[in-house]
Structure 1
C-alpha cells in the first residue's frame, strides 16, 4: 500500500527578480514524498510547485488538498486533480520517481546518463537600464546564443535601446533574442509596441497582452510583425475542448509549456498534441521550481523532439536550492550522474 506525506519549503532568491507583476524575493513550494509501506527506504519525491499570484490553484484550501492527496495516494486515480495543476505535477513526478527506484530518475534517457545536454536561453530579469545591460553582458560573456528579456516594467524606450545595443553588436544569426511582456501591453497599443520591437529581429514575444482576451489576442497574432508565444493564456485551461478552441481561435505562432502550471506532464502532452494538429510551435519553460521540479521538467524535455533553446535556466536563482546532479554549464543544462541529491527536510506532514 502506498503512503505519502508533504513538507512546505521556502526558496530564497539570490537577487530580487523583477517582472511586470512585481519583484520576487522568495518562492513558496511543497515537496511530496511517496513510498510503499513495505519498503519505506525507497521513496519518490515530487514538487507541488505552487506559484502564488499566477497559478490557477493558488487557493486557501491548497494544503487541505495536499492532505487529501496524501490520505488517498493509494487510490490517486479517484481524486480529481484537474484544477490542481501544481499538485498533479508533484504527484506525477513522485510516482514516476518511485517507479524508477526512488533515485530522482523520472524519465531515464541519454540526458540522465550524462551524455546529452539541453540548450537553454539566458534569462534577463527586469531592473533598471544599467542593471539589465550588465546582466545582458554577463549572459553573452557566458556563451549564451539565446537571450530572453523580461520587459514591460521600465521605460519602453529604454528597453528598445537595450535591444538595439545587442543588435549593433550581434546579428540574429549570432544571438537569438526573445522578450516576455507578461501581459504588460494594452490591446490598444500592443500592435504599435510589436512594430517597434520587430526592428530588432526578435525570435518572439511572450504574452504581449493579459490572458483571457481571446479576440484581441487573435487580432494581434494575425497582424503581428513578429511571432507571438502564449504563456499565461494557457494557465487554468484544463478542458480538452477549450484547449483546442483556444488554439483554433487565437492561432498563435507558439505556445509556452510550463508543466507545473498547465496540468503536469499529462496536461502539457495534451497541449503538444493539439499544437501539432493546429501547426503551432512550442517549447518548454520552467516556472521557478526548485531543482526537484526543474529536474523532472528537464528529464521530460530531453525525451521530446525539439532542437531549440528551452527556458530551463532557473536552477541558479536561489540561495537554498536542493543540491542535485543538475549542472548549468554555459548555455547548457546537464545532468551529472556522479553527483547526488541532498535533502535536509525532516518535517514531512
Structure 2
C-alpha cells in the first residue's frame, strides 16, 4: 500500500435533516481519499446517497481501499462514478479560478437570505395554479432574477404544454431559463419544440440534438467523475448547450473541486453548503450568488477519522 495515499471517514451534523428515500438523515457521512505529493495532501470526496448513487458506503470504501493498494489509472474507468470523482479530485492540482455564480433554490415565496440572479423553483408537487402563483410572487420579489423550473418529471406532456401556455398568458415566459426534466415519459421529449428545457435525471446523449434543449445538469459523482464532466462539457460546447454542474450535498472539499471544473459564465447548482452545521474544512466563501473556489488544497480539520 502506497504511503502517498490515505482514506478518512467523516460524519457531519446538518442544520436540517436531509430527506433520502423517505428517511430523514441528520448527519452527512462519507469518505475522503488523500493523495500526498510535495508534502501536501490533496483530497477527494465520496459521499453516496441512496436514490442518487447506486452504491453504498461499504462498497465505496472497498473501491477506495482497492485503489490505494493499486493506484493504476487504467482502472479508473471500471470504478463507480462517485469513487472515480473522489480519486480524480485528489490527483488534480488547484489553480486560481474565477468566482462561480450559483442559482438559489426556492420551495416557497419566503425572502431569500442572499440575492440570486437565477432561481431554481421546485414545481409539480401542487396544482398548476399554485405553482403559477408561487412563480408570480417570486417574480415580483426578485425582479432581476430568471427562473429554472424543476417538476422532476412529474408532468405529462399535456401538463407541461398547459403550464407553458399559462405562463405566456401572464407574460412570465421570458423570465424562464428552462424547465428541467419536463415530462414523465422521456420519449415525449422530442415533441417539445417551443419550450426551453434542460435534462438532469433524464439525460442521455441521444437527446442532445433536441431543438429545445438549452442545458444539461451534470453531477460529477454520478456522470463519470472529473473526466466525465470534461467529456460532457466538450459535447455541450459542440452542441451550444449549457453544462450546469450540480452537487450531491458534498462538503467544501467536494464543492471546491466542482468549482474548479465549473464554467464561470453559467449559474451552477452548488448552493448546498448551507445545510451543514459545520463544514469539514474552512468553508468556501460565498458572497450573494458567487462562490469563490479555493486555489490551494482544502485541508480537513473537523470530524474525520483515518481508515487506511
Q: 1:12 to 1:159 in 2, by over 3 A?
A: farther
CA gap of 1:13–1:196, structure 2 versus 1, over 3 A, is farther
Q: Residue 156 of structure 1: CA displacement?
A: 4.0
User: Which residue does 1:272 correspond to in 2?
Assistant: 233
For the residues of structure 1 that align with 2:296 and 2:90, how far apart are their CA atoms? 22
Choose the corresponding residue for 1:218, options 168, 177, 190: 190
1:64 matched to which residue of 2? 62
**What does residue 32 of structure 1 align with?**
33
CA distance 1:12–1:230, change in 2 (3 Å)? farther
Equivalent position of 2:180 in the other structure: 206
Distance 1:197 1:51 in 2: 35
1:325–1:340 Cα contact (<8 Å) kept: no
Residue 202 of structure 2 is matched in structure 1 by 233
For residues 180-217 of structure 1, give each alpha carbon's deviation from its aligned partner in whole angstroms, at most 9, with x where no partner exists: 2222224453332343355533111211235xx54222
Cα distance in 2 for residues equivalent to 1:159 and 1:17: 23
Alignment CA distance shift 1:247-1:122 (3 Å): same
Q: 1:59 to 1:45 in 2, by over 3 A?
A: closer
Task: Report the counterpart of residue 239 of structure 1 in structure 2.
Answer: none
- Describe the SS at the equivalent of 1:275: helix
How far residue 282 of structure 1 moved from its aligned partner, in angstroms, is 2.5
Residue 149 of structure 2 is aligned to residue 149 of structure 1: no
1:262 equivalent in alignment to 2:263: no
- Residue equivalent to 2:270: 312
How big is the shift at 1:298? 0.9
**Residue of structure 2 in register with 1:294 after alignment:** 255
RMSD: 3.1
Q: What is the deviation of 1:43?
A: 2.1
**TM, length-normalised to structure 2:** 0.83
Distance in 1 (CA, whole Å) between partners of 2:30 and 2:272 is 15
The equivalent of 2:137 in structure 1 is 165
Tell me the distance in 2 between the aligned counterparts of 1:168 and 1:42.
49
- Higher relative contact order (Cα pairs below 8 Å, separated by 6+ residues): 2
Normalised to the residue count of structure 1, the TM-score between the two structures is: 0.74
1:7 is aligned to 8
1:346 aligns to 2:292 (yes or no): no
CA contact (8 A) 1:44 1:95 kept: yes
- 4+ residue stretches of structure 1 with deviation over 6 A? 336-340
In structure 2, relative to structure 1, the CA distance for the partners of 1:58 and 1:340 (3 Å cut) is closer
For 1:318 and 1:48, how far apart are their aligned partners in 2? Answer: 16
Q: Distance in 2 between matches of 1:143 and 1:84?
A: 37
Distance 1:196 1:55, change over 3 A: farther
Q: In 2, distance between residues paired with 1:3 and 1:335?
A: 25
Unaligned runs of 5+ in 2: none
CA distance in 2, matches of 1:143, 1:17: 24
Shift of 1:266: 1.0
SS at match of 2:176: coil
Report 1:113-128 matches (<5 A). Answer: 116-124=98-106, 126=107
Shift of 1:94: 0.7
- SS of 1:310 mapped into structure 2: coil
Q: Residues 13 and 218 (structure 1 numbering): CA distance in 2 closer, same or farther, change over 3 Å? A: farther
